[in-house]
């Protein structure tokens, strides 16, 4: 694999920051923060003069970042150290808009360059997450049981506008049960799908839940709100989040923010295309390209081999199958189970990257032309979708050029 240049690594990370900050605030605000951080660091890292960021409110995100090739002559370890400080300072500038999940999302989005082998002392986002938790632990004085009950009651109130009480309660109960495996402390929540003798539904968070770290609880509640939003099937998920915010009120919204819960992010997730559609479209495009270059039999065999060889490393691929009995009857031979919609985005992104890479190797493509063809056939809308889950085709292109 050819050496990845400093300019390429830096551009990818800065573009990622624009995307993640922009989703929490606005793209124009992202430009201002990032340029301010750049100015601050230039005194310590003079080579950052090779980087410029347009901070006008009408900048077009990635296109507002310009990196001169001179930075490629700088020692990579020095560039990586500057990048690490850049991310730390950006998080501080974002203040309440930079929650625990912001660092997590950045880490997942740049996971496609982990083969570059950053020195642990230079770029270590795991340690940044730890620092964030340590710093916030002293700030958060929220009683877990109280905020948990408030979140549940607000969710139930909003869902009850659409469904009868019993179905409403069942939606919430099912979401809690689904999340109890990764978050066993959710078993401390008592909620019944049938009213008591006085006609009231029991909703209670036992005091044991107060022993859970508030940010860990926040992560669980973030997932719970998202699960309930998906299950309630609102015609406009934006309306669901807006009504939930209204029901909670400003003081409680501020508490949710302190817990690391980002309702705007949930809103984006709920409005996004389902994973099953993205995966099916991606694999259908791969099938078509391989068929055009070789044959349909070769294409089907390649995808079957990819799924078989990679499913142990990426369990999410077990939710995809190729119906070989239909291979001569049409193109609808790729079956994607609906459970894939519950997969973590970054894990799905990693799996899809591996399938694309596997296919390129089978085609013995060493020019990157296969990736260019794939991008053209997939189309901009779906390209944006797979980029959101961490599939960076530019770096795949570089890996083929050996």
CA separation for the pair 251, 245 (Å, rounded): 11
Q: Are 298 and 278 in contact (CB under 8 A)?
A: no
CA separation for the pair 47, 211 (Å, rounded): 47
- DSSP per residue, 183-225: -GGGGGEEE-SS--TTSPPPEEE-GGGGGS-HHHHHHHHHHHH
* β-bridge mates for residue 189, sequence order: 205
**Short-list 6, 43, 36, CA closest to 21:** 36
How many other β-carbons are positioned within 10 Å of the β-carbon of residue 69?
10
Q: Are 102 and 90 in contact (CB under 8 A)?
A: no
pLDDT of 126 reads 59
Which tokens sit at 70?
């001179």
* Element at 124 (helix H, strand E): none
390: left (phi over 0), alpha (psi -120 to 50) or beta: left
Which tokens sit at 233?
């099937």
Which tokens sit at 394?
């530019």
pLDDT of 317 reads 94
CA separation for the pair 261, 6 (Å, rounded): 34
Q: Are 357 and 115 in contact (CB under 8 A)?
A: no
Q: Give the model confidence (pLDDT) of 106-132 as tens digits.
A: 766 676 665 444 443 455 665 565 555
Helix (H, G, I), strand (E, B) or coil at 2: coil
Helix (H, G, I), strand (E, B) or coil at 101: helix
**Short-list 46, 106, 57, CA closest to 82:** 46
In the block, residue with structure tokens 């230079």: 122
* β-bridge mates for residue 336, sequence order: 320
- DSSP per residue, 254-312: HHHHHTT--HHHHHHHHHSPPHHHHHHHHHHHHHHHHHHHS-HHHHHHHHHHHHHHHTT
pLDDT of 387 reads 79
Q: Are 152 and 191 in contact (CB under 8 A)?
A: yes
CA separation for the pair 103, 131 (Å, rounded): 11
Q: Give the model confidence (pLDDT) of 200-239 as tens digits.
A: 667 888 889 988 888 889 889 999 999 999 888 776 555 8
C-alpha angle 93-99-101 in degrees, rounded to nearest 5: 130
Residue spans of the chain under pLDDT 50? 1-2, 57-60, 115-121, 327-329
């Amino acid at each position: 694999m050819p050496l990845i240049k400093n300019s390429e690594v830096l551009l990818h990370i800065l573009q990622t920051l624009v995307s993640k900050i922009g989703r929490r605030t606005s793209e124009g605000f992202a430009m201002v923060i990032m340029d301010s951080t750049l100015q601050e660091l230039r005194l310590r890292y003079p080579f950052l003069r090779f980087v410029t960021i347009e901070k006008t409110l009408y900048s077009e995100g990635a296109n507002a970042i310009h990196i001169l090739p001179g930075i490629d002559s700088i020692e990579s370890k020095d560039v990586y150290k500057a990048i690490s400080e850049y991310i730390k300072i950006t998080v501080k500038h974002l203040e309440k808009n930079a929650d625990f999940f912001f660092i997590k999302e950045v880490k997942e989005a740049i996971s496609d360059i982990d083969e570059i082998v950053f020195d642990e002392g230079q770029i270590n986002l795991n340690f940044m997450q730890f620092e964030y938790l340590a710093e916030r632990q002293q700030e958060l004085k929220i009683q877990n049981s109280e905020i948990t009950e408030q979140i549940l009651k607000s969710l139930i109130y909003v869902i009850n506008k659409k469904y009868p009480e019993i179905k409403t309660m069942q939606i919430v109960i099912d979401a809690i049960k689904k999340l109890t495996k990764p978050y066993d402390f959710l078993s401390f929540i008592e909620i019944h799908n049938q009213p008591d003798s006085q006609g009231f539904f029991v909703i209670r968070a036992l005091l044991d839940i107060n022993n859970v770290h508030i940010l860990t609880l926040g992560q669980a509640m973030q997932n719970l709100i998202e699960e309930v939003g998906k299950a309630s099937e609102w015609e406009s998920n934006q309306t669901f989040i807006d009504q939930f915010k209204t029901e909670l009120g400003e003081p409680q919204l501020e508490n949710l923010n302190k817990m690391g819960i980002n309702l705007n992010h949930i809103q984006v997730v709920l409005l996004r295309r389902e994973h099953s559609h993205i995966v099916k479209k991606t694999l259908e495009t791969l099938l078509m390209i391989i068929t055009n270059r070789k044959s349909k039999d070769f294409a089907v065999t390649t995808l079957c081999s990819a799924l078989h060889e990679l499913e142990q490393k990426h369990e999410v691929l077990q939710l995809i199958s190729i119906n070989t009995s239909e291979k001569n009857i049409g193109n609808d031979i790729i079956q994607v189970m609906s459970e894939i919609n519950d997969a973590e985005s970054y894990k799905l992104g990693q799996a899809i990257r591996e399938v694309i890479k596997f296919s390129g190797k089978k085609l013995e493509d060493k020019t990157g032309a296969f990736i260019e063809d794939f991008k053209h056939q997939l189309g901009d809308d779906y390209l944006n979708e797979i980029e959101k889950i961490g599939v960076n085709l530019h770096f795949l292109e570089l890996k083929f050029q050996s």
